[in-house]
C-alpha cells in the first residue's frame, strides 16, 4: 500500500476591522510566522499528541477486565497514532528537518532501524496469530470427534505459540533508546524529534500489553500454571477474558462427556475463534500502518 500524501496545511488568522477615528496610536505590524518547520501549534502535531494521550489512557483504563474488544480497540488506536505520524512525515518541512539532522546526525538511520524492527515484530505477530487460528480450528474438529490424543497435540502447539508471542517483546530491547541529544535547545526541530520519540515509546509499551495479554491467557497455558502465573505477574499480565474460556488440556476424557457437553464446548470454541479473527484483523491494520510509516521515513532520504 502506497503511503498517502498530505499536500498542504494552511492556517489563517482573521480579525474584525474596527475603524477608530480618535486613536492616534500607530497600528502594530503583524509578522507572519515562518513555517520552515512544523511548529508545536501545527494541527498534525496536536492531533498526534492527542492520539498518543488517548492510547495511554486506553492502557490505564482497563480495570482487570481485559476483553478481545478492549485489545482490538488498543490496536486500532495504535494504528491511528501511526497514521497521524505518517501525515506528519508527508510535510515538506518535516522532511527538510529530518534530512538536516542538525541536532542528531544519525537520526534517520536509527529511526529506519526502529521502524524496521516494528514491521518485523508485527509481521511475526501476524504469523503467530494465523498459526493460533489454524491450530484452534483443527482443535475444534478434534473436539467434535472426541479425539483426545489429537487435542493434546494441539494443546502443546498452542503452548509453544503463546511462548513465541510473549518473546516478541524482547525484540524491542534496542528500540527507542536514542533520540534526544543531551542539552539540545527546545526549538521546532527538537519538538519534532520529541513527538516521534513519544510514538516509539508508546508503540513499545502498548505492544507489550497486547502480546502479554494474549500469551498469558489460559488458552496458551497449562492448567497447573494458571494460578501461579496470576499471583506472580499481577494485573498487568492478566489474560484476555475470551481466551480464558477454553483450555484444551481441560478437555481430556471427551468420550465420557454427553452430547450436550460437547456441543457447549464447541460453541465456546467457535466464539473464541471469532475473537481470534478480530485480533488478527486489528493486528493486520497496525502492520500496514507501520509499513507506511517506515516507507515515509525512507522517502525522507530518497525524495
Q: Residue 118 and residue 290: Cα distance in Å, rounded?
A: 7
Beta-carbon contacts of residue 166 (< 8 Å; ≥ 6 apart): 211, 212, 215, 216
Whole-model pTM: value is 0.78
Containing 34, the helix (H) or strand (E) segment is none
Task: Tell me which residue of 84, 80, 69, 60 sits closest to 209, measured CA to CA.
Answer: 60
pLDDT for 75 beyond 90:
yes
Cβ-contact 79, 29 below 8 angstroms: no
List phi, psi (to 5°) of 173. -60, -30
**CA dist 3 → 12, 135, 211 (Å):** 28, 34, 27
Q: What is the pLDDT of residue 221?
A: 66
Task: Report whether pLDDT(6) > 70.
Answer: no
Measure the CA dihedral 130/131/137/141, to 10°: 160
Q: How far apart are CA 265 and CA 261, in angstroms?
A: 6
Quick: pLDDT tens for 155-213: 999 999 999 999 998 988 777 665 554 445 557 778 888 899 999 999 999 999 999 99
Cell numbers 492510547 correspond to what residue? 55
Taking each helix axis from N to C terminus, what angle separates 188-215 and 43-61, rounded to the nearest 10 degrees?
30
**Which residue, 284, 289, 302, is CA-closest to 3?**
289
Most confident of 101-105, 144-148, 183-187, 225-229: 144-148
Q: How many residues does the chain have?
A: 303
Q: For the residues of 144-165, what is the DSSP string, one character each?
A: HTT-HHHHHHHHHHHHHHHHHH
Q: Name the least confident of 196-210, 227-241, 270-284.
A: 227-241
Beta carbons within 8 Å of 227's beta carbon, 6+ residues apart? none
For the stretch 283-296, what's the b/e string if a residue is b when 16 or more beta carbons lie within 10 angstroms of its beta carbon?
A: bbbbbbbbbbbbbb
In the prediction, which pLDDT does 176 show?
A: 62
Asked if residues 178 and 89 have their Cβ atoms less than 8 Å apart, the reply is no
**Strand intervals (E) in the chain:** none
Mean pLDDT of the chain: 79
Q: What is the pLDDT of residue 60?
A: 86
Lowest mean pLDDT among 106-115, 123-132, 173-182: 173-182
Interior CA angle at 213 toward 212 and 217, to 5°? 110
Domain boundaries, the chain: 43-302
Amino acid at each position: 500500500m502506497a503511503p498517502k500524501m498530505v499536500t498542504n496545511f494552511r492556517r489563517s488568522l482573521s480579525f474584525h476591522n474596527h475603524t477608530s477615528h480618535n486613536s492616534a496610536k500607530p497600528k502594530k505590524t503583524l509578522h507572519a510566522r515562518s513555517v520552515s518547520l512544523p511548529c508545536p501549534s501545527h494541527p498534525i502535531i496536536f492531533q498526534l499528541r492527542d492520539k498518543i494521550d488517548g492510547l495511554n489512557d486506553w492502557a490505564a483504563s482497563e480495570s482487570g477486565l481485559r476483553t478481545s474488544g478492549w485489545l482490538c480497540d488498543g490496536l486500532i488506536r495504535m494504528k491511528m497514532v501511526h497514521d497521524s505520524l505518517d501525515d506528519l512525515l508527508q510535510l515538506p518541512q518535516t522532511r527538510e528537518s529530518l534530512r538536516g539532522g542538525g541536532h542528531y546526525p544519525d537520526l534517520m538511520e536509527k529511526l529506519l532501524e526502529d521502524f524496521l524492527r516494528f514491521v518485523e515484530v508485527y509481521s511475526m505477530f501476524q504469523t503467530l496469530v494465523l498459526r493460533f487460528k489454524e491450530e484452534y480450528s483443527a482443535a475444534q474438529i478434534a473436539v467434535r470427534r472426541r479425539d483426545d490424543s489429537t487435542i493434546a497435540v494441539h494443546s502443546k502447539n498452542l503452548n509453544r505459540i503463546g511462548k513465541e508471542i510473549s518473546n516478541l517483546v524482547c525484540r524491542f530491547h534496542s528500540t527507542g533508546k536514542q533520540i534526544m541529544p543531551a542539552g539540545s535547545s527546545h526549538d521546532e526541530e527538537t519538538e519534532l524529534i520529541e513527538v516521534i520519540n513519544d510514538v516509539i515509546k508508546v508503540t513499545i509499551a502498548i505492544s507489550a500489553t497486547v502480546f502479554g495479554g494474549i500469551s498469558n491467557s489460559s488458552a496458551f497455558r497449562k492448567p497447573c500454571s494458571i494460578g501461579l502465573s496470576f499471583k506472580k505477574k499481577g494485573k498487568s499480565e492478566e489474560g484476555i477474558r475470551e481466551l480464558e474460556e477454553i483450555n484444551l488440556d481441560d478437555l481430556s476424557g471427551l468420550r465420557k462427556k454427553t452430547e450436550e457437553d460437547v456441543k457447549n464446548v464447541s460453541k465456546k470454541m467457535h466464539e473464541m475463534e471469532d475473537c481470534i479473527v478480530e485480533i488478527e484483523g486489528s493486528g493486520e491494520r497496525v502492520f500496514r500502518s507501520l509499513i507506511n510509516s517506515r516507507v515515509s521515513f525512507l522517502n525522507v532520504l530518497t525524495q
